[in-house]
Amino acid sequence: MASPGLDRELKKGSAELLILSLVEDRPRHGYDIGQLIELRSRGALRFNVASLYPLLYRLEKRGWIRGRWVEKAGQRRRRYYRLTPAGKKVLASQRDGWLEFVEAIGRITGIQYA
């Protein structure tokens, strides 16, 4: 992710997919989501507060994920986001789309996956 411009564009296209994937198996709160993205991308991808939360809210407005305040013993309450049925469908189709996109890029640039 060399140039900052490309970085932003790619993030935008893929960020929704990333977030939806992360909350697919279980509800997560915003900080958790941000950490996981950074961790799993080995530092290549990082969302800061100013971009992560607006994205979460947008997905929530669209009805793809749903946030709920959850209180756990000994902790402050946190907002956990969970994938909605609608989100599940979107995630599936975005996954397919992404795969097609990557394959198409690969065919053009000659980059081969193992």
Partner 1 sequence: MPDWKAEVKARLAGLSLSPARELEIIEELSQHLEDEYEQALSRGVSEAEAERAVLADLKVPNLLGRELKRVERAVPQNPVPMGTRARSNMIGDLGQDVRYGLRMLAKNPAFTAIAVLALALGIGANSAIFSVVNAILLRPLPYKNPEQLVMVWENQTHLGFPKNTPSPANFLDWRQQTTVFQGMAAFAERSFNLTGAGEPERLDGRRVSANLFDVLGVRPIIGRTFVPQEDQPGTKVVLLNESLWKRRFGGDPGVIGRAVTLNNEAYTVVGVLPSSVRLPAFGKWRDQVWVPIAFPAEEAASRGDHFLEVITRLKPNVTLAQARAEMETIAARLAQQYPQYNSRVGAVVNPLHEEIVGDMKTALWILLGAVAFVLLIACANVANLLLARAAVREKEIALRLALGADRARLTKQLLVESVMLSLLGGMVGLGLAYAGLRVLTRFIPPDLAHADTIAIDGKVLVFTLLVALVTGVIFGLAPASQASHFNLSETLKEGGRDSGAGVRGKRLRSALVIAEVAVSVVLLIGAGLLINSFMHLRNLDPGFRADHLLALSVNLSEVKYPDTARRTAFFDEVVRRVQPLPGVQSVAVAGNLPFTYNGDSMGIAVEGIPDPPPDQWPDVIYRAIGPGYFNTMGIPLVRGREFNDGDTLDTTRGVVIGEKTAKHYWPNQDPIGKRLKPGGTNDNETPWRTVIGVVKDVRQNDFIAEPKMQMYFSYKQVGQLVANALIVRTSVDPLSLATPVRNAIWSVDKDQPVANIDSMENIVAGAVARQRFSMLLLAIFAGLALVLAAVGIYGVMSYTVAQQTREIGIRIALGAKRRDVLRMTVKQALKLVGLGLLIGLPSAFILTRVMSSLLFGVSATDPITFVSISLVLTGVAMLASYIPALRATRVDPMVALRTQ
Binding site for partner 1 (CB under 8 A): 30-31, 34, 48-55, 57-58, 61, 76, 78-79
Least Cα distance to 12 among 63, 55, 53, 44 occurs for: 55
Question: Is the CB of 42 or the CB of 61 nearer to partner 1?
Answer: 61
Rg of the chain (C-alpha set)? 15
Cα separation, 108 vs 45, whole angstroms: 24
* Min dist. Cβ of residue 67 to partner 1 (A): 8
Question: Is the CB of 24 or the CB of 60 nearer to partner 1?
Answer: 60
Question: Is the CB of 4 or the CB of 110 nearer to partner 1?
Answer: 4
CA atoms within 13 A on the CB side of 1: 13
* Min dist. Cβ of residue 31 to partner 1 (A): 4
Question: Is the CB of 62 or the CB of 89 nearer to partner 1?
Answer: 62
Least Cα distance to 22 among 50, 64, 76, 63 occurs for: 64
Contacts of 16 (CB under 8 A, 6+ apart): 55, 59, 64, 94
* Min dist. Cβ of residue 83 to partner 1 (A): 18
* Min dist. Cβ of residue 25 to partner 1 (A): 21
